[in-house]
Amino acid sequence: MRPLIDENNLSYSKEFLIYHTRGKILVRAVLVIGAFTGSIYFYMQNQLFVFSALLSLFIFQIPLLIKSVKRIDEIQFRINSKGIQYRDNLLIPWNNIENERAFSEHNGYKDDTTDYFIYYIIDPGQIMKFNLNELSTDVSELSIVLNVQRNRFKKENSIT
């Protein structure tokens, strides 16, 4: 488990890295194994329609699982006192970013929410919005990181 970030301690961490969550990959692996096992069972029971459906699910999920496993260590975001970098794109400096925040949005169902990370790039006038549900952070942790790194940028550049 990662340590919590103290927003009052600006010397804590130099940068924050966000990856794809390992939980979604584990769920996909269990789905693939379950589809394969189920297809064998229904083949032995001579239920060819169910066998075909599960075998198709197994076959179509294999490339997605392989792609997910290959991308497991791929950095999605790098957030530091210089700015925000998305994947292999150029780092966007804090003086070109505004309204950065993480928030939850209710989807109309009782407990169904989607977490988002959003920021506005001033120069090209571009809004960047990302779903956090498949990433290795949550709204509260990311909000603290954004606050710490923005404050560190201001402190390093003597901006009040």
DSSP calls for 8-60: T-TTS-SEEEE-B-HHHHHHHHHHHHHHHHHHHHHHHTT-HHHHHHHHHHHHH
Residues in contact with 96: Cβ distance below 8 Å, sequence separation at least 6, in sequence order: 83, 121, 122, 123
Quote the radius of gyration of the chain (alpha carbons, Å): 21
pLDDT attached to residue 113: 87
Distance CA 123, CA 48 (A): 58
- On the question of pLDDT at 15 being above 70, the answer is yes
Tens digits of residue pLDDT in 17-33: 999 888 888 988 999 99
Where does the pLDDT of residue 1 fall: very low under 50, low under 70, confident under 90, or very high at 90 and above?
very low
C-alpha angle 53-50-60 in degrees, rounded to nearest 5: 15
- Per DSSP, 141 falls in state H
Tens digits of residue pLDDT in 103-156: 998 887 777 889 999 999 998 999 999 999 889 999 999 999 999 999 999 999
φ, ψ of residue 113 in degrees (nearest 5)? -130, 155
pLDDT attached to residue 11: 54
Residues in contact with 151: Cβ distance below 8 Å, sequence separation at least 6, in sequence order: 10
pTM as predicted: 0.77
